[in-house]
Amino acid sequence: MSPVYVTLLVLEAILGVLMIVLVLVHAPKGDGMAGIGSSATLFTGKRGAEAGLDKLTWVVFFLFMAVCTVLGFGFVK
């Protein structure tokens, strides 16, 4: 195994744990049936820390998926 492969495996594990933590830190929505189609946040919106947390979660998700794709298709061995 090359050092790049091992580094990507470690990065994938770190990103996975970070993504789990970020999802658990999110505030519960509790919108009930209004949550379908996100109509509940139409009038209230997201502000401050919640919006920043959403962006950070999406960034970590896309990085995680990129590393999974590189490792899954065998671009690095």
Sequential pLDDT tens for the chain (77 residues): 899 999 999 999 999 999 999 999 987 766 555 556 655 555 556 677 788 899 999 999 999 999 999 999 999 98
For 66, the domain range is 1-22+42-77
Q: Give ∠ CA 39-40-44 in degrees, rounded to 5.
A: 115
What predicted TM-score, i.e. pTM, was given to this entire model?
Answer: 0.75
44: three-class secondary structure by DSSP: helix
Through-space distance between the first and last CA atoms of the chain, rounded to whole angstroms: 6
Is 50 domain-assigned?
Answer: yes
Question: What is the domain count for the chain?
Answer: 1
What integer pLDDT is reported at residue 40 of this predicted model? 54
Could you tell me what percentage of the chain is helix, strand and coil, using 3-state DSSP and rounding each to the nearest 5? 75, 0, 25
Is 74 domain-assigned?
Answer: yes
Is 32 domain-assigned?
Answer: no
